Amino acid sequence: MRPESFEFLQAYLNNPSPTGFEKEGQKLWLEYLKPYIDEYFVDTYGTVVGVINPKAKYKVVIEAHADEISYFVNYITKEGYLYLRRNGGSDPLVAPSKRVNIFGEKGIVKAIFGWPAIHVRKVEQDKAPTIETVFLDCGASSAEEVAEMGVHVGSVVTFEDEMTVLNDKFYVGRALDNRVGGFMIAEVARMLKENKKKLPFGLYIVNAVQEEIGLRGAEMVAHRINPDVAIITDVTHDSQSPMYEKKTAGDISCGKGPVITYGPAVQNNLRDLIIDTAKKAEIPFQRAAATRATGTDTDAFAYSGSGVASALISLPLKYMHTTVETVHKDDVESVTQLIYETLLRIEDGHDFRYFV
């Protein structure tokens, strides 16, 4: 990865972008993207779309989502402790002893997830932490002191953890789900510009908000763009580490390439074009099967309007919805390359229907 790209990836991953509060991360992403696009727009809830060839009638989307799981302050005790509710699929099991940032009216307030010491617990009776039992300590001794710090019910909370590199092979951190996707589609735009590739269609590079609470940003922007084709990138579970059951999770591994999904929302001809592209470009890939839905923004695009030819290219990831989400460097490069190569094979007016 070129140094400038790595610097952007690091800054983008480290910048908090909780669901519903993605603004600062979106501004960062857009600044990186601007040199490679013709124009852009931002919708009411913060989805950002960079456009190449905006006057073209035929429209192709490449999309990722920008938001990360987080918490809201829900209740403040008279002693100054904070109880929470989840914003997205946050896992209370990983919370105890973690450091967090609370976004208050006066700026960021540092806090920690407290937990009773092993000495005072009946360990044999221990239960897993839940949203009802985890709590924050921001160093206050009363509800009034918490208020003076600018923290109130509704203040959003994110983990403090930042990106690291593991064994020179893996990127590790919080919110790789799915800001690494935003990074990859921005890199596709850069490659098109720097390689002087002229596309015969309009390309919409979409970084959508509010995926973690039900694909909401993608729903909104799909109706606005009304595309003909959508290629979505998100993360999927690496199933090689302990406690995974391959019979249900599939056999997916970090380092073995992009994951191409089969399922009702995935348009078969578009998916087959992607597979053929991977083979011709000698990009290793893996396969996965979805059930009724992919659980990604693919579903929102596929079923919008009169139906959009949509496909999903996933990045294998370890430890989803923790503060140590982990992806392989090679997979990041391969997913980026596969999206890029696929775009070069889509024609103006490309008809993906199964028969006419």
How do residues 91-149 score in pLDDT, each as one tens digit?
999 999 999 999 999 999 999 999 999 999 999 999 999 999 999 999 999 999 999 99
What pLDDT sits at residue 83? 98
Residue type at 313 in one-letter notation:
I
* Model confidence, pTM: 0.96
Determine the average pLDDT of the residues in 203-231. 97
Neighbouring C-beta atoms of residue 256, cutoff 10 Å = 18
| Residue 44: φ, ψ to 5° | -60, -35
Say whether the peptide bond before residue 178 is cis (omega within 30 degrees of 0). Answer: yes
Which of 22, 63, 68, 211 does the annotation list as catalytic? 211
What pLDDT sits at residue 75? 98
105 is catalytic: no
| Residue 275: φ, ψ to 5° | -65, -45
Ranges of H-type helices in the chain: 3-14, 23-33, 143-148, 176-194, 216-225, 246-249, 268-280, 297-302, 329-343
pLDDT digits (tens, 9 = 90+) for 3-60: 999 999 999 999 999 999 999 999 999 999 999 999 999 999 999 999 999 999 999 9
* Token output for 256: 């073995």
* Beta strand 59-65 pairing with 229-237: parallel
Determine the average pLDDT of the residues in 228-250. 96
What pLDDT sits at residue 196? 98
Q: What is the CA radius of gyration of the chain?
A: 21
What pLDDT sits at residue 330? 98
Strand order in 170-173's β-sheet?
Answer: 164-166, 170-173, 325-328
3 state SS of 111: strand
